Amino acid sequence: MTADPDTAPRRRPARRAAAAAAALALVAPLAACGSDGGGGTPTINLYYPPEQNLQKVVDDCNAQAQGRYRIAYRVLPRQADEQRVQMVRRLAARDSGMDLLGLDVTWTQEFASAKWIREWIGQDKSEVERGTLNGPLDTARYEGRLYAAPKNTNVQLLWYRSDLVPEPPKSWDEMISAAQQLKQQGKPYQVLTMGAQYEGLVVLYNTLAESAGGKVLSDDGKKAVMDEGTVRALDQLKKFATSGVTSPSFTNATEDPVRLEFQSGSGAFQVNWPFVYPAMQEANPELAQKVKWARVPGIDANTPSKVTIGGVNMAVSSYSKHPTESFEAAKCIRDAEHQKFSAVNDGVPPTIEAVYADPEMDKAYPMKETILEELKEPAVRPLTPAYQSISTVMSAILSPPSAIRPEQTANELRDAIADALESKGVLP
Amino acid sequence: MSVNATPAGADVAADAERSAGRHAAVPAQRAHRRTKPPLSENKRAERRLGWLLCAPAALVMVLVTAYPILYSVWLSLQRFDLRFPDEREFVGLENYVTVLTNQFWWTAFGVTALITVVTVVVELVLGMGLALIMHRTLVGRGIVRTAALIPYGIVTVVAAFSWRYAWTPGTGYLANLFDGSAPLTERASSLAIIMLAEIWKTTPFMALLLMAGLALVPEDLLKAASTDGATAWQRFTKVMLPVMKPAILVALLFRTLDAFRVFDNIFVLTAGGNETSSVSMLAYNNLIRGLNLGIGSTMSVLIFLTVAIIAFVFVKLFGTAAPGSDDGERR
């Protein structure tokens, strides 16, 4: 500094004031944070994946709460993996800034086992269990206790071109031969579904395995089983991948690319989540006219399939400072009225059975009957705290499906899953 | 933990490394002095004062590096999985057997070794060229140096994102050069892109270290050599390089240790897909995503040991002067 000695003293007060202002600016947010734990309205921090109209539900619940609590919706990242990493990191550090969590159905056991989420008991528990479908409830349980409230569920359907296919196929073999016939006639024939090395491939395999009556894990979730039915499912998956009816990009396909491919008209069948329907009506209304839906085909034509369910469960963090209000807020966000609102506006299927009977659902959810039918006999992904590791190694071993050798692959999967259950598995 | 943080232990490992190197050099020099004359009272008091002055710094070093390293080692001897908190138990070296017999680990190790060797060699050549240019610049020396340093000044993660978009079809000007394919979905091309990003970023750092070495070369020597009829190439290989050797070795040591812990570029560019994980990426996946503290810490310890071995080889076999030690008169 080359300040004139005369001016230096005059400058100093100004600088001191600036420093004081800066210090205040730094402290102010801290003060704001500290005040919320006090006497006023407690803030419930809801960490939930992006959902377009959830803020309206939150606003409605805040109005209903009449100042008992105020929910603040904090949007998690779009990628499932990033959502989980953010929550896991903060919970491992016992962060009390998270109260209510929106968990993918496959994470509930993991969080419960790690003691990061609170058990639902008494009044709260019976309120959540009343009228809720069993499949979604199973995903929210761990060791016979309820740890989360199912907010919405999700299940894949078979979408098919009714102008090419008169009757929906009852089994995968029927679907493959129907596609092969269309191929010979030179018509659109492809069977489109997700086959990239990620969770979607595990979902496809789990649907096949459960439909074949197979078990990946023992009932208590402690041991890898991989029985007869799971080998049959591996055989079916390989047959499907090598019968010439898949798209060339099958081994790289995820949800949205599959939807786009079907919309472009190259497919006769598509196995995908319900979100494809509104999107198709918007992008290709002409094609949407011809598209119908049915239950996903089974392994046997006479045995109905069991289809893997997805969805979101709401759980209360163990480190929350306002557990009572958090349970109340969770119940409000998932009550029948709000589930209907979310179904109509965001397209997420409800978990409360009665909502399906509501006439308002007819227009937004023409396929609600089929969805409900699948939800009543669902397939649940292996319920274990180690699911994330199991899914990672399963998708690595199952990819590419054309290289499956049923017996050998089953043994490989059994060993890898056993390692994951004993925390011996190394993740790639 | 921020995105660009290395897995617990790896960073610490490198720091401890440098301090270990510092101490490793001491016995080496002691060995030269076979007989120790008894110290005078004066010297002893001076030495005590020296220790006292060092003590706070040494204590802080121990607290911030030794504790996490020891804690990592302790964790690596247990089955400790955050998802199964009740099943925590001591398992001895079982985790090490698991990791060292696992193909994912060796694939990642190979990838890391490849990245380390290729990037360090290329950086040394490019950095030397850049250093010579900067050393000989006559006009606007400051501007040239600043411009050359810009890549090193940009946060790695930010630069990595710009590389990622550049190589993604549709958004990327670089991907569109190559018939619009997606190079980040193939193993060979993604490894090449990761190395390119590393080289682009750290060549300036290498050049800076080498420039400091160039400043050590006396002009008189070079003049004398050209008087004797040495060509430019001979002057470079016979005069400059030998004088610069200590600086080159230090630069190589630093870069090798850093390159072996490569993480942020891989995290952003491929997230370890298509077998492009480095060992640090693998440790992150097992620690943070897999919540498996036992296996993850085992990997961190193994990374630390590898880095220690690299440093040992440099200091002992190539005679790298450890930073901070001097060959001058020691009391």
- List chain A residues with pLDDT less than 50: 1-11, 24, 27-38
Minimal-distance CA residue of chain B relative to A83: B289
Give me the count of residues in chain B: 331
CA–CA dist A402, A339 (Å, integer): 40
Side-chain half-sphere exposure of B72, counting CA atoms within 13 A: 26
Per-residue pLDDT at B36: 62
Is the model's pLDDT at B19 over the cut of 60? no
Residue B27, pLDDT above cutoff 90: no
Nearest beta carbon to residue B288 from set A89, A252, A428 = A89
What pLDDT does A149 receive? 97
Q: What is the pLDDT of residue B149?
A: 87
- φ/ψ of A365, rounded to 5, equals -130, 65
Nearest CA in chain B to A113: B83
Q: Using CA atoms, how far apart are residues B95 and B98, in angstroms rounded to an integer?
A: 5
The alpha-carbon gap from A406 to the nearest alpha carbon of chain B, in Å, equals: 22
Query: Which has the closest alpha carbon to A245: A211, A270, A280?
Result: A270
**Nearest Cα residue in chain A from B290:** A389
Rounded to whole angstroms, the Cα distance separating A394 from A155 reads: 20
Per-residue pLDDT tens digits for A153-180: 999 999 999 999 999 999 999 999 999 9
Question: Smallest Cβ distance to A427: which of B79, B185, B290?
Answer: B290
In angstroms, how far is CA A410 from the centroid of its own chain?
26
Higher-pLDDT residue of B187, A307: A307
The span from the CA of B65 to the CA of B212, in Å, is 29
Instruction: Report residue B322's pLDDT band, with 50, 70 and 90 as the boundaries.
Output: low
* Residue B84 touches chain A, beta carbons under 8 Å: yes
Distance CA A236, CA A404 (A): 10
Q: Does B279 touch chain A (CB under 8 A)?
A: no
Per-residue pLDDT reduced to its tens digit, B251-297: 999 999 999 999 999 998 888 877 889 999 999 989 988 889 999 99
Nearest C-alpha of chain A: how many angstroms from B123? 29
**CA–CA dist B191, B113 (Å, integer):** 12
Separation between Cα atoms, residue A7 and residue B37, nearest integer Å? 61
d(C-alpha B173, C-alpha B183), whole Å: 13
* Least-confidence region, from A13-17, A412-416, B23-27, B135-139: B23-27
Measured between beta carbons, which residues in chain B are less than 8 angstroms from residue A389?
Answer: 290, 292
Phi/psi at A298 (5° precision): -100, -175
What percent of chain A lies above the pLDDT cut of 90?
A: 73
Mean pLDDT of B183-200: 89
- Rounded to the nearest 5 percent, the helix, strand and coil shares of chain A are 50, 15, 35
- pLDDT of A178 reads 96
* A349-373 b/e (C-beta count within 10 Å ≥ 16 → b): bbbbeebbebeebeeebeebebbbe
Q: CB A426 to CB B288 under 8 A?
A: no
- From the list B82, B87, B292, the residue facing A92 with the nearest CB is B82
pLDDT at A146: 96
Tokens of B310: 């690299």
Any CB–CB contact under 8 A between B295 and chain A?
A: yes
CA distance A277 to A367: 9
- Per-residue tokens: B188: 């060979």
Torsion of CA B19, B23, B28, B31, to 10 degrees: 170
Taking contacts as CB-CB distances below 8 angstroms, the residues of chain A near B92 are none
Cα–Cα distance for residue pair B152/A124, rounded to 1 Å:
56
> A92–B291: do the CB atoms touch at under 8 Å?
yes
Would you call A256 helix, strand, or coil by DSSP? helix
Burial code (b: 16+ CB inside 10 Å, e: under 16) for B67-83 equals: ebbeebeebbbbbbbbb
Instruction: Please say whether the beta carbons of A372 and A349 come within 8 A.
Output: no
Most B-contacting residue of A90, A389, A419, A424 (CB-CB within 10 A), to test interface: A424
CB contact under 8 A, A389 and B102: no
Residue B45 phi, psi (nearest 5) = -60, -40
Amino acid A46: pLDDT: 96
What's the pLDDT tens digit per position in B75-84? Answer: 999 999 888 8
- Spatial neighbors of B328 by CB under 8 A, at least 6 apart, are none
Does the pLDDT of residue B316 top 70, yes or no?
A: yes
Q: From the CA of B233, how many Å to the nearest CA of chain A? A: 48
Chain B CB contacts of A425 below 8 Å: 290, 292, 295
Query: Tokens 């109260």 label which residue?
Result: A99
Does the beta-carbon distance from A113 to B290 stay under 8 Å?
no
- Please determine, for residue B328, whether its predicted confidence score (pLDDT) is greater than 90: no
- What is residue A101's DSSP assignment? E
Q: What's the confidence (pLDDT) of residue B330?
A: 39
Beta-carbon separation of B285 and A113 below 8 A: no
Say whether residue B104 is in contact with chain A using an 8 A CB cutoff: yes
Tell how many helices (H) and how many strands (E) occur in chain A. Answer: 18, 11
Distance (Å, whole) CA A213 – CA A303 = 10
